[in-house]
A = this chain, B = another copy of it.
Amino acid sequence: MEVKDVLRAVQFAPEKMQKINLFETKNFFSDVYCLEPGQEQKVHAHQTEDKLYYVLDGCGSFVVGDETAEYGAQHLIFAPAGQPHGVKNTSQERLTLLVFMTPNPNFK
């Protein structure tokens, strides 16, 4: 059975936000994003892919469309296809996110 202990996959780095892939098929990828205080995923958009951010730990400042708001653990943030989106760790604690993206733009 293909199973990941998500929190054991977590890895932070001082240079930049870490993305650790857990699973992927042509339909999706699932990553863990690990953001030290001040680190970010810059605002960007995908024309055909939907993204979900689930906050595992910490608190992040999320951008979707023209809105910016802070969310903490147990919140699921939806960035629909075509909408600019990003996340920054504006807190003093580490931020850990479980991320789903569908379909998978990296799958060849």
* Chain A contacts to B: CB under 8 angstroms: 1-8, 22-23, 25, 27-28, 30, 49-50, 52, 54, 62, 64-65, 67, 69, 71, 74-78, 80-81, 98, 100, 102-103
Query: Chain A interface mostly helix, strand, loop or mixed?
Result: strand
Q: Are B6 and A103 in contact (CB under 8 A)?
A: no
A103 neighbours in B (Cβ, 8 Å): 27, 102-103
Q: Are A2 and B78 in contact (CB under 8 A)?
A: yes
A100 neighbours in B (Cβ, 8 Å): 28, 30, 52, 100, 102
Of chain B, the residue at the smallest CB distance from A100 is B100
Of chain B, the residue at the smallest CB distance from A64 is B1
